[in-house]
Amino acid sequence: MKILLDTCAFLWIASDSPMLTQTARHLFLAAEEVWLSVASCQEILVKHQLGKLPLPETPSRYIPRVREEHGIASLPVDEIDALHLSTLPPIHRDPFDRLLVSQSICKGLVVLTPDPLIHAYPVRWEW
């Protein structure tokens, strides 16, 4: 399985949080590929700068370190991903999550997320 992590899933993996379900943890560990979108990096940075997301170090150090420690690849946002946004129904108002949905559809990835609004899109998800 090729997985795209929701931002919260990435953060919960990083902190070994009990919020990460056993199923999600198993899928993460068993995945063929695991990706973190650049959109999630941007979301982490914005929330950190607003003081809503404390981290043990700056996002520019934290994100690459955690990705490397857990074997998570970085997924850039390309033109196809961005343009596909126009085809999505307006279910989710969060632009970061909408971009994750678009990327998962365009790249054929399974989104690892607890977000019920993402579950409402025509995308494969697990939790």
Task: Map out the domains of the chain with their CATH numbers.
Answer: 2-126 (3.40.50.1010)
Tell me what pLDDT residue 8 has.
Answer: 98
- Digit-coded pLDDT (tens) for 31-72: 999 999 999 999 999 999 999 999 999 999 999 999 999 999
- What predicted TM-score, i.e. pTM, was given to this entire model? 0.96
Nearest one of 119, 115, 109, 108 to 43, comparing CA atoms: 115
Tell me what pLDDT residue 17 has.
Answer: 97
- Digit-coded pLDDT (tens) for 71-116: 999 999 999 999 999 999 999 999 999 999 999 999 999 999 999 9
Instruction: Give long-range contacts, CB 8 A cutoff, 24+ apart: 91-98.
Output: 91/117, 91/120, 91/121, 92/117, 92/118, 92/120, 92/121, 96/7, 96/39, 96/40, 96/42, 96/43, 97/6
First to last CA, the chain: 13
Tell me what pLDDT residue 62 has.
Answer: 98
